[in-house]
């Protein structure tokens, strides 16, 4: 058994009301999770005030391990909004945040787009460092950081003290990457990990939710083609002690049932329970 810890994402329950957040916490704690990742929209739901957010967390005896941000090519959204939200995250003892690159569809990124995202994520890293928060590059299908060469460009042109890697197993597979090989390449820079399975190469899009595209052929852990044991082995070997944060865009059952199925897989395949 390695040193990594387990968490679940809660944006799937909705990002518009406190009631959706409360339902998410009720469901994941019923299953057995005690840590979760949220998205930047949740900070707006609480009007940028951390205490009401933390009061709900305390009521359910859970803690956040990060917030997820997505770039859209506008500096106001991509950098200035992060600047406004950093104090909230710091008040929640957050040390990691995921950053998804700018959306594009049906083509690789051009150099201008990659240069912009590099500039934006570097600026975020510089702003976040005084707060003790590390932004993690999150590869995502239909964005400027989808293919391996795009991952390489950002990772090889950023300071490891300012930008880490936050791989997503299903999105890398959907983008034609070998998740095992990419994680092996950047294992020493992995500081956050999204785990989800996928049935095949490519994706089946199902529209937008919480500002990002969601897909229907992602699956609970162990129900697709991702080689999770190899990924666990690689990260254990480098002493990864961060979170394996489980995520699933859309459930064929219920969000709670999907969370339970993936926990059962992790208990068997990683924790040896």
CATH of residue 246's domain is 3.20.20.150
CB-count burial class (<10 Å; 0-12, 13-18, 19+) for 201: exposed
pLDDT reading at 106 higher than 90: no
Tell me the pLDDT tens digit for each residue of 166-196: 999 999 999 999 999 999 999 999 999 999 9
**How many domains are there within the chain?**
1
Tell me the pLDDT tens digit for each residue of 52-85: 999 999 999 999 999 999 999 999 999 999 999 9
Counting residues of the chain whose pLDDT is more than 90, the rounded percentage is 91
Angle 142-86-135 (CA atoms, 0-180°, nearest 5)? 45
Locate 135 and state its tokens: 């932004």
pLDDT, residue 230, reads: 98
Angle 122-116-42 (CA atoms, 0-180°, nearest 5)? 65
Is the sign of the CA dihedral 163, 164, 168, 172 positive or negative?
positive
pLDDT reading at 212 higher than 70: no
Confidence of residue 209 (pLDDT cuts 50, 70, 90): low
Confidence of residue 202 (pLDDT cuts 50, 70, 90): low
CB count in 10 Å sphere of residue 82: 24
For residue 231, give its domain range. Answer: 5-269
Beta carbons of 104 and 143 less than 8 angstroms apart: yes
Kindly report the pTM of this predicted structure.
Answer: 0.95
């Amino acid at each position: 058994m390695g040193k990594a810890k387990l968490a679940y994402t809660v944006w799937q329950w909705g990002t518009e009301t406190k009631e959706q957040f409360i339902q998410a916490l009720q469901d994941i704690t019923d299953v057995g999770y005690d840590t979760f990742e949220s998205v930047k929209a949740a900070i707006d739901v609480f009007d940028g005030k951390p205490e009401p957010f933390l009061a709900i967390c305390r009521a359910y005896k859970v803690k956040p391990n990060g917030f997820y941000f997505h770039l859209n090519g506008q500096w106001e959204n991509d950098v200035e909004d992060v600047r406004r939200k950093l104090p909230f995250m710091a008040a929640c003892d957050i040390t990691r945040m995921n950053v998804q690159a700018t959306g594009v569809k049906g083509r690789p990124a051009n150099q201008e787009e990659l240069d912009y995202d590099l500039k934006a994520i570097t600026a975020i890293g510089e702003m976040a460092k005084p707060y003790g928060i590390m932004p993690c590059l999150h590869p995502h299908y239909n964005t400027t950081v989808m293919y391996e060469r795009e991952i390489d460009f950002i990772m090889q042109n950023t300071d490891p003290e300012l930008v880490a890697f936050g791989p997503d197993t299903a999105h890398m597979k959907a983008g034609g990457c070998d998740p095992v090989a990419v994680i092996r390449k950047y294992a020493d820079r992995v500081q956050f990990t999204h785990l989800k399975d996928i049935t095949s190469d490519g994706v089946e899009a199902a529209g937008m939710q919480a500002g990002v595209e969601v897909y229907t052929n992602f699956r609970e852990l162990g129900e697709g083609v991702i080689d999770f044991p190899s990924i666990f082995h690689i990260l254990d070997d480098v002493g990864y002690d961060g979170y394996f944060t489980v995520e699933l865009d859309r459930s064929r059952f219920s969000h709670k049932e999907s969370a339970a199925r993936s926990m059962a897989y992790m208990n068997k395949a990683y924790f040896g329970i």
